[in-house]
Structure 1
Amino acid sequence: MKTVNGAIALLLVAAAMPSPAPAQAASEPVVAGRVEIQAQTQAMLAEMKPDQGFMWRPVLRDGKTVAAIEIWKKPGRPAVHPTEAEYAIVLEGSGTLISGGTLNDPKTSNPGLVEGSRIENGATRSLGPGDVILIPAGVPHWFGITGERLILLGVKLPGSK
């Protein structure tokens, strides 16, 4: 768990730091510690309705950059974030990630999200606590749940596409 907590702290500090303007020093980092992350996760789990499959809540925010807890109890729809890369650390639980390939039946839900019916020819990977994920902007992906739930600390960042 020490490695996961260290990775969480590093990701949170990196996500919270704004890009400095030219000739200006960066502002101070903002950190959400392990206790705050655990408390928010427990509060979210307590708030979820029995049939609710997903909950998302920001932990830190700097403009458009957000670090958030994602709780998955049911798989969502396959998705693409056209202009944002997605970094995530598995905090708890286990699951499956399917990424790459082709998103079938794409429908734009909002400018930052395209959802589809399934992914064809994607790579499948098992996920567990401590795993770190990077999904580049524009890459189809889907999270499956193994067991009771999959809890991620996710950060969306402007991508290069």
Structure 2
Amino acid sequence: MARARTMGILLLLAVSSGSAAAYAQTGAAQAPDPSGFASGADVQRQVVQMLGEMKADQGFMWRPLVRDGATVAAIEIWRKPGRPALHPAEAEYAIVLEGSGTLVSGGTMADPKASKPNLVEGSRIEGGNSRTLGPGDVILIPAGVPHFFDITGDRLVLLGIKLPGAK
């Protein structure tokens, strides 16, 4: 009886091993995962690498983290305030990863000038709303809305995504 049980266990292991090998072979033929993915460790590694590459007087750095064609989720590191900006055809979605700052959005942009195909920059925002930013905060700025990030600590780190604006 013990010998029959041992033979049964060996047979089960042999069949299981064959199934695993067959699964591994068919799994390799499956289409790749269409979603982009970056682990928390990947995000932290990229932030540390970017901070190490930034020059002492550099106020901003942007680098893609994951992408799907034109759609990009990128790490943005702000050490100095940028210029007030708006994106006519794209909404901006961001999550604060580190640091602190202030978001000024809405109102009217003074002295607007197109600096890139989907970027208009100005000298200041008149009549905007101010919000204090910290880790975990979520931001959604609709297409065409002026906005400006002020930095209140040594840096503000965002995970930012541009999305097509509503039609």
Normalised to the residue count of structure 2, the TM-score between the two structures is 0.79
Partner Cα separation in structure 1 for residue 123 and residue 34 of structure 2: 43
2:133 equivalent to 1:134 = no
The aligned residue for residue 155 of structure 1 is: 161
Letter in 1 for 2:118: G
The aligned residue for residue 60 of structure 1 is: 66
Q: Which 4+ stretches in 1 moved above 4 angstroms?
A: none
Partner Cα separation in structure 1 for residue 70 and residue 145 of structure 2: 20
2:121 equivalent to 1:115 = yes
Structure 2 unpaired stretches of 5+:
1-32
* % identical equivalent positions: 72
2:24 equivalent to 1:33 = no
Structure 1 unpaired stretches of 5+:
1-26
Partner of residue 49 from structure 1, selected from 32, 50, 55: 55
Partner of residue 94 from structure 1, selected from 89, 94, 100: 100
Cα shift at 1:28: 2.9
Letter in 2 for 1:125: R
Letter in 2 for 1:57: R
2:157 equivalent to 1:146 = no
Cα shift at 1:135: 0.2
Q: Residues 70-100 of structure 1: CA distance to partner in whole angstroms, max 9, x if unpaired?
A: 0000000000000000000000000000000
The aligned residue for residue 112 of structure 2 is: 106
Structure possessing the higher radius of gyration over alpha carbons = 2
Higher fraction of helix: 2
The aligned residue for residue 18 of structure 1 is: none
Letter in 2 for 1:30: G
SS for the counterpart of 2:65 is strand
